[in-house]
């Protein structure tokens, strides 16, 4: 897979980048919007693909911030639904706790709702969606209805050993959802969120047995999407994610040519 991201103008930051200042964010948005396609409006749709714990959330939120794009993480949306006790949350919880995929029908409805609320000139960074070929087909169909398509697929990669250690060390804030890692990115005060002071907890699906199941599910149901997108006009990039966060950002910067 070659490096072809740069010419779309999605803006990514170098090592140690802080949340974008107004000026740079505005420039990033302008560049995102200035990507002209032969068909339809100038909007970039990016998918972050990769196994559990590889850093999709860590990098995806940052990438969307830099690009002035909407960040859509189905895992986050599902966990919020579980916390709020909605019908979707009640139906999804058992699958998530077992490390299985939530049925396509529920996910497709959820994503349809999110996309229907977006204006046509909004870029999107998807994290954890699509995860199956039927989900990818649905995304293509919904985007096609508004003359859009998936532009980029970035595959983050790391060995299982790295993934297991990251997920064993992950802690999330029960209140604001901020993510830490006791090995790599510890909070200032053990057990408390730096941002809001909320209690930090281990994710229910981060126990070793469930993590192993999630890895198997990724290989069986989600990896085929690489082949799927090779058969589309989307551009694919592979990024080694078994490095510190800033180094992964360096690599993203390199492959995107920004």
Only segment of 10-18, 33-41, 50-58, 83-91 that touches ligand AP5 (CB under 6 A): 50-58
- Cβ atoms of 128 and 53 within 8 Å: the answer is no
| Residue 170 known to be catalytic | yes
Only segment of 36-44, 115-123, 141-149, 240-248 that touches ligand AP5 (CB under 6 A): 240-248
| Residue 166 known to be catalytic | no
Site residue total, ligand AP5 (CB under 6 A): 36
What binding mask, one character per residue, do residues 51-80 give for ligand AP5 by CB under 6 A, x or -? -xxxxxxx---------------xx--x--
Cβ neighbours of residue 64 closer than 8 Å, sequence gap 6 or more: 70, 71, 123, 125
Among 17, 140, 179, 226, binds ligand AP5 (CB under 6 A): 179
Sites for ligand AP5 among residues 137-176 (CB under 6 A): 166, 169-170
Catalytic residue among 66, 131, 148, 166: 131
| Residue 203 known to be catalytic | yes
List the strands of the sheet with 179-181, edge to edge: 179-181, 170-173, 200-201
| Residue 25 known to be catalytic | no
> What residues pair up with 185 in beta bridges, in sequence order?
181
| Residue 213 known to be catalytic | no
Three-class DSSP labels, the chain: CCCCCHHHCCCCCCCCCCCCCHHHHHHHHHHHHCCCCCCCCCCCEEEEECCCCCCHHHHHHHHHHHHCCEEEEHHHHHHHHHHHCCHHHHHHHHHHHHCCCCCHHHHHHHHHHHHHCCCCCCCEEEECCCCCHHHHHHHHHHHHHCCCCCCEEEEEECCHHHHHHHHHHEEEECCCCCEEECCCECCCCCCECCCCCCEEECCHHHCHHHHHHHHHHHHHHHCHHHHHHHCCCCEEEEEECCCCHHHHHHHHHHHHCC
Catalytic residue among 79, 152, 171, 214: 214
Cα–Cα distance between 148 and 222 in angstroms, integer?
A: 22
CB of 140 to ligand AP5, least distance (A): 15
Only segment of 17-25, 125-133, 140-148, 223-231 that touches ligand AP5 (CB under 6 A): 125-133
Among 11, 49, 62, 131, binds ligand AP5 (CB under 6 A): 131
CB of 120 to ligand AP5, least distance (A): 23
CB of 36 to ligand AP5, least distance (A): 30
Q: Give whichever of 30 and 90 is closer to ligand AP5, judged by the CB atom.
A: 90
Q: Give whichever of 43 and 106 is closer to ligand AP5, judged by the CB atom.
A: 106
Residues forming the active site: 56, 131, 170, 203, 214
Residues at the interface with ligand AP5 (CB under 6 A)? 50, 52-58, 74-75, 78, 95-96, 99-102, 107, 128-129, 131, 135, 166, 169-170, 179, 181, 184-185, 205, 214, 241, 243-245, 248
């Amino acid at each position: 897979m070659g490096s072809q991201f740069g010419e779309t103008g999605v803006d990514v930051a170098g090592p140690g980048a802080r949340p974008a200042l107004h000026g740079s964010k505005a420039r990033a948005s302008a560049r995102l919007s200035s990507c002209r396609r032969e068909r339809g409006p100038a909007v970039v749709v990016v998918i972050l693909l990769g196994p559990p714990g590889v850093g999709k959330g860590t990098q995806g939120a940052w990438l969307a911030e830099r690009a002035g794009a909407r960040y859509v993480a189905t895992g986050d949306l599902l966990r919020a639904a579980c916390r709020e006790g909605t019908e979707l949350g009640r139906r999804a919880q058992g699958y998530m706790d077992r490390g299985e995929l939530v049925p396509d029908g529920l996910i497709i409805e959820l994503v349809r709702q999110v996309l229907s609320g977006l204006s046509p000139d909004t870029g999107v960074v998807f994290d954890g969606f699509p995860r199956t070929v039927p989900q990818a087909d649905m995304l293509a169909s919904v985007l096609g209805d508004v003359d859009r398509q998936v532009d980029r697929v970035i595959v983050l990669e790391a060995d299982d050993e790295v993934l297991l250690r990251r997920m064993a060390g992950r802690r999330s804030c029960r209140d604001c959802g901020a993510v830490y890692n006791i090995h790599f990115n510890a909070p200032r005060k053990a057990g408390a969120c730096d941002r809001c002071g909320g209690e930090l907890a281990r994710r229910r699906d981060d126990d070793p047995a469930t993590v192993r199941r999630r890895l198997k599910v990724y290989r069986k149901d989600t990896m085929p999407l690489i082949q799927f997108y090779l058969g589309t006009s989307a551009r694919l990039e592979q990024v080694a994610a078994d490095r510190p966060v800033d180094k992964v950002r360096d690599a993203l910067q390199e492959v995107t040519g920004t």
